[in-house]
């Protein structure tokens, strides 16, 4: 009996000694499968801050880029924080404003592709431009961040399938169908519906993206446009940076009905880190703040000082609600519950917001999120799927379809002028 007790005690000690902390589980997962992030707005920062004049831009460290006089915070991304964040692959977003005309948008998108390619070329030891899953795998094995290009907003193609094909030829590997406003062929989640989803031309855009092997990104689009796309697409879709609407009711998040459809489609939600899309309490706080400002502006017309004083008093009585890494993990939990762990990725949206959630404020924060997931019981295998395995599978599916249909003729549409 005494020997049995001693043996059990030794087993318990051995188990305790080999048990991993959540941080260790996360670290092991991210060492095996570094983060493949769906959306980073570094190119937007280069345009808004430097007008794409980057000769003096130091990507090694951007922590000193704040401009307090202009109420502009420091950038979220640099080579140092990329390494700290265990980032292995990144879709760099070549976002341009939805307020531009379509012709202006085409030019601006070309400029954004150019500036991102110039940044990558300046750091050949750390970054590598890739256009395929195999290329991404080779770059990561060589210790470089696999750098892919994603277009944010269908206005970037000027309602032209020829332009879409040329953007693909330049390296774009996903396109978000809309941004904050409708395009002439697809409804945005944050605009008044004009098309009931996709127009006939919009459906041709989906077909041509499938043929090319370009991922269809459904972040920013209306629920009707999401469902129209899922009815039509032959390959898995992506949401490059969205959350779960059941957790936070923002229109930018994905409703459960669409999450359910991802199971059969094979697609992925790359869960966003944008605080306003994460915390429902923060969303409600923001709405209350906007309502109070509108009320004060109505009461004190012509007296902006009174409005400022009133808002200061309101904020003093209603402290800002902050989103946290735990809120981010809540969205991942919900997507797992509805769609399954095979349909989750990460789309931080760094450099496209004021700050990330508390605990993961910038691109160094991914390990904190993965440690939180490990704390909630996610296995190392689950974490590796979320970090990069799932999005690699989605990209390979798109590439396989394009290869199988490489002899299909391009879809044509008439020129506008």
Catalytic annotation present for 408? no
The catalytically annotated residue of 37, 41, 292, 327 is: 41
What pLDDT score does 15 carry? 42
Res. 2: pLDDT tops 80:
no
Q: How confident is the model at residue 14 (pLDDT cuts 50, 70, 90)?
A: very low
What pLDDT score does 98 carry? 97
Catalytic annotation present for 123? no
Catalytic annotation present for 399? no
What pLDDT score does 19 carry? 77
> What ranges do the domains of the chain cover?
23-279+323-404, 280-321
The catalytically annotated residue of 292, 333, 349, 372 is: 349
Catalytic annotation present for 208? no
Q: Is 406 left (phi over 0), alpha (psi -120 to 50) or beta?
A: alpha
Catalytic annotation present for 200? no
Determine what percent of the chain falls in helix, strand and coil, rounding each to the nearest 5: 50, 15, 35
Vertex 155: Cα angle to 235 and 408 (nearest 5): 40
Res. 161: pLDDT tops 80:
yes
Compute the distance between CA of residue 268 and CA of residue 157 in angstroms, rounded to an integer. Answer: 24
The catalytically annotated residue of 155, 241, 331, 334 is: 241
Shortest CA distance to 52 belongs to which of 112, 97, 124, 105? 112
Q: What is the pLDDT of residues 215-236, one digit of tens each?
A: 999 999 999 999 999 999 999 9
Res. 18: pLDDT tops 60:
yes
Q: What is the pLDDT of residues 312-327, one digit of tens each?
A: 999 999 999 999 999 9
Catalytic annotation present for 41? yes
The catalytically annotated residue of 37, 128, 152, 333 is: 152
- Mean of the per-residue pLDDT values of the chain: 95
Catalytic annotation present for 334? no
Question: What CATH number does the domain located at 23-279+323-404 have?
Answer: 3.20.20.140
Res. 205: pLDDT tops 50:
yes
| Widest pairwise Cα distance in the chain | 92
The catalytically annotated residue of 155, 168, 220, 331 is: 220
The catalytically annotated residue of 76, 155, 179, 250 is: 179
């Amino acid at each position: 009996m005494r020997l049995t007790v001693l043996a059990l005690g030794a087993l318990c000690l051995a188990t305790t000694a080999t048990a991993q902390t959540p941080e260790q589980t996360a670290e092991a997962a991210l060492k095996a499968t570094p983060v493949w992030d769906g959306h980073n707005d570094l190119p937007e920062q280069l345009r808004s801050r430097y007008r794409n004049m980057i000769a003096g831009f130091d990507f090694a460290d951007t922590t000193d880029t704040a401009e307090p006089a202009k109420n502009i915070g420091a950038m979220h991304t640099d080579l140092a924080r990329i390494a700290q964040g265990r980032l292995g692959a990144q879709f760099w977003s070549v976002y341009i404003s939805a307020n531009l005309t379509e012709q202006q948008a085409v030019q601006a998108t070309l400029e954004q592709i150019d500036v991102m390619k110039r940044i990558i070329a300046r750091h050949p030891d750390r970054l590598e431009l890739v256009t395929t899953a195999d290329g991404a795998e080779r770059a990561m094995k060589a210790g470089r961040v696999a750098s892919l290009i994603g277009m944010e907003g269908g206005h970037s193609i000027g309602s032209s399938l020829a332009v879409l094909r040329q953007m693909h030829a330049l390296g774009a590997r996903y396109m978000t169908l809309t941004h904050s406003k409708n395009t002439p062929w697809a409804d945005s989640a944050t605009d008044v519906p004009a098309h009931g989803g996709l127009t006939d031309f919009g459906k041709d855009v989906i077909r041509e993206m499938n043929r090319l092997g370009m991922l269809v990104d459904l972040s920013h689009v209306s629920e009707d446009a999401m469902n129209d796309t899922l009815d039509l697409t032959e390959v898995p879709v992506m949401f490059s940076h969205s959350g779960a609407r059941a957790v936070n009711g923002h229109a930018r998040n994905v409703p459960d009905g669409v999450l359910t459809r991802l199971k059969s489609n094979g697609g992925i939600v790359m869960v966003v880190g944008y605080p306003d899309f994460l915390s429902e309490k923060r969303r409600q706080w923001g709405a209350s703040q906007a309502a109070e400002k509108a009320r004060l502006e109505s009461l004190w017309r012509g007296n902006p000082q009174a409005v400022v004083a009133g808002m200061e008093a309101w904020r003093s009585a209603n402290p800002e609600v902050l989103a946290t890494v735990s809120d981010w993990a809540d969205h991942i939990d919900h997507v797992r519950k509805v769609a399954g762990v095979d349909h989750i990725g990460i789309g931080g949206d760094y450099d496209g917001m004021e700050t990330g959630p508390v605990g993961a404020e910038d691109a160094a924060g991914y390990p904190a999120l993965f440690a939180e997931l490990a704390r909630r019981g996610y296995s190392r295998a689950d974490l590796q799927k979320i970090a990069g395995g799932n999005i690699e599978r989605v990209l390979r599916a798109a590439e396989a379809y394009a290869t199988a249909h490489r002899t299909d003729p391009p879809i044509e549409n008439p020129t506008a002028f």
